[in-house]
């Protein structure tokens, strides 16, 4: 059964997903690797959760110079590594002491577990529409993440392929162009209202899936839908059911 978007008036042929937070649990996965790093180096005072949050806090600011055109495009895994090097001194650690491990620790962002509904929901949704990530992550990162987590993507759209970071308009426009579809035939599914708002401005359909623990037990944003989205779902399985 086809799903027709109320906002675009068109049949949805592709559902693209924000990935960090919406499909995979980045915070637990990164903290797990940081904890293992701390154990190897006998850093008993290193709080893995606090380190992960501090590292993640640099995520959006590191992309801003690329979004505003003051820095040439570089893939997210390079930004993650740069942000890691900036985070280590905040916790009293000298990056030069860990040169041989920086690449592997950066790759923690590839070793993330899916939320419990993700694989089943994507598998079912893939029966009705093209599914893939529309993420700020680069293709190699998304490929390795998807293989490890068993995500049944039909296509992978990395930021290095579209040469743009969300929520700039070209990120959504270029992704739609790659698929040779109209914007109204594509839906973005995300746990982040600002991402959906940008996609909606670009003419895409929208689906909100709450992830109230993405940022930990004290999360205060994106707990509920804050816009007039096409669909507000409880999970990716629920989203798939709207297409069945």
How far apart (Å, rounded) are the C-alpha atoms in residues 235 and 121? 8
Same domain, 222 and 176: yes
| pLDDT tens per residue, range 75-85 | 999 999 999 99
Residue at 196 is within a domain: yes
- Contact partners, residue 9, CB within 8 Å, separation at least 6: 184
Tell me the average pLDDT across 139-168.
Answer: 98
- At 189-240, the pLDDT tens digits run 999 999 999 999 999 999 999 999 999 999 999 999 999 999 999 999 999 9
Q: What is the pLDDT of residue 229?
A: 98
> Does 155 lie in the same domain as 34?
no
**Same domain, residue pair 158 and 69:** no
Whether residue 230 lies inside any domain: the answer is: yes
Asked, for residue 4, whether it belongs to a domain, the answer is no
Tens digit of each residue's pLDDT (9 = 90 or more) over 29-59: 999 999 999 999 999 999 999 999 999 999 9
CATH code (residue 30): 1.10.150.240
**18 within a domain of the structure (yes/no):** yes
Check residue 88 and report its DSSP letter.
G
Let me know whether 104 and 77 are in one domain: yes
Look-up of token digits 């982040």: 192
Residue 7 domain flag: no
Q: How many CB atoms lie within 10 A of CB 116?
A: 12
Listed residues 110, 136, 162: the one ending a domain: 110
Q: Which two tokens stand for residue 195?
A: 């991402």
141 and 231 assigned to the same domain: yes
Q: What confidence score (pLDDT) does residue 24 get?
A: 98
Among the candidates 69, 90, 110, a domain finishes at 110
The Cα 137–Cα 244 span in angstroms is: 29
Residues 18 and 121 in one domain: yes
Calculate what percentage of the chain has a pLDDT beyond 70: 100
Q: If you write DSSP's letter for every residue of 219-230 in order, what string do you get? A: --SSSS--S--S
Residue 58's domain spans which residues?
26-110
Which CATH number does the domain housing residue 192 bear? 3.40.50.1000
Whether 233 and 139 share a structural domain: yes
Q: Are residues 130 and 18 in the same domain?
A: yes
Q: Tell me, what's the pLDDT at 165? A: 98
Q: Quick one: 195 and 231 in the same domain?
A: yes
234 within some domain: yes
Q: Tell me, what's the pLDDT at 30?
A: 98
Total tally of structural domains belonging to the chain: 2
Instruction: Tell me the average pLDDT across 80-102.
Output: 97
pLDDT tens digits for range 19-36: 999 999 999 999 999 999
Both 137 and 204 in one domain: the answer is yes
Tens digits of per-residue pLDDT, 119-137? 999 999 999 999 999 999 9
Q: Which two tokens stand for residue 181?
A: 């579809």
**Do 129 and 208 belong to one domain?**
yes
Does residue 1 lie in a domain region? no
Q: Where are the beta strands (DSSP E) in the chain?
A: 14-17, 24-25, 113-114, 130-133, 186-190, 205-208, 231-232
Give the CA radius of gyration of the chain.
18
Q: What's the pLDDT at 2?
A: 78
**pLDDT surpasses 70 at 1:** no
Residue 47: alpha-carbon gap to chain centroid:
24
Torsion of CA 226, 232, 234, 237, to 10 degrees: -140
Looking at the domain assignment, is residue 6 inside a domain?
Answer: no
**Mean pLDDT score across all residues of the chain:** 97
> Would you say the pTM of this structure is higher than 0.85?
yes
Q: Is the pLDDT of residue 180 over 70?
A: yes
Domain boundary among 65, 82, 110: 110
Same-domain pairing of 84 and 140: no
């Amino acid at each position: 059964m086809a799903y027709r978007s109320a906002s675009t008036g068109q049949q949805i042929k592709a559902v693209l997903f924000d990935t960090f937070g919406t499909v995979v649990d980045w915070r637990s996965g990164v903290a797990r690797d940081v904890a293992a790093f701390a154990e190897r180096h006998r850093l008993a005072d290193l709080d893995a959760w606090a380190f992960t949050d501090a590292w993640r806090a640099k995520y959006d600011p590191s992309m801003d110079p690329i979004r505003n055109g003051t820095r040439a495009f570089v893939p997210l895994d390079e930004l993650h590594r740069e942000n890691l090097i900036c985070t280590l001194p905040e916790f009293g650690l000298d990056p030069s002491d860990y040169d041989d491990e920086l690449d592997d620790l950066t790759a923690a962002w590839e070793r993330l577990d899916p939320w419990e509904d993700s694989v089943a929901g994507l598998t079912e949704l893939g029966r009705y529409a093209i599914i893939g990530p529309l993420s700020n992550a680069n293709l190699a990162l998304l490929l390795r993440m998807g293989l490890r987590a068993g995500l049944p993507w039909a296509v992978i759209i990395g930021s290095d392929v579209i040469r743009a970071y969300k929520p700039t308009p070209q990120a959504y426009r270029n992704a739609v162009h790659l698929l040779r579809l109209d914007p109204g035939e594509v839906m973005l599914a995300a746990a982040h209202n600002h991402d959906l708002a940008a996609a909606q401005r670009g003419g895409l359909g929208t689906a909100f899936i709450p992830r109230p623990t993405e940022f930990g037990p004290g999360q205060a944003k994106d707990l509920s839908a804050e816009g007039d989205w096409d669909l507000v779902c409880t999970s990716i399985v629920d989203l798939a059911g709207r297409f069945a």
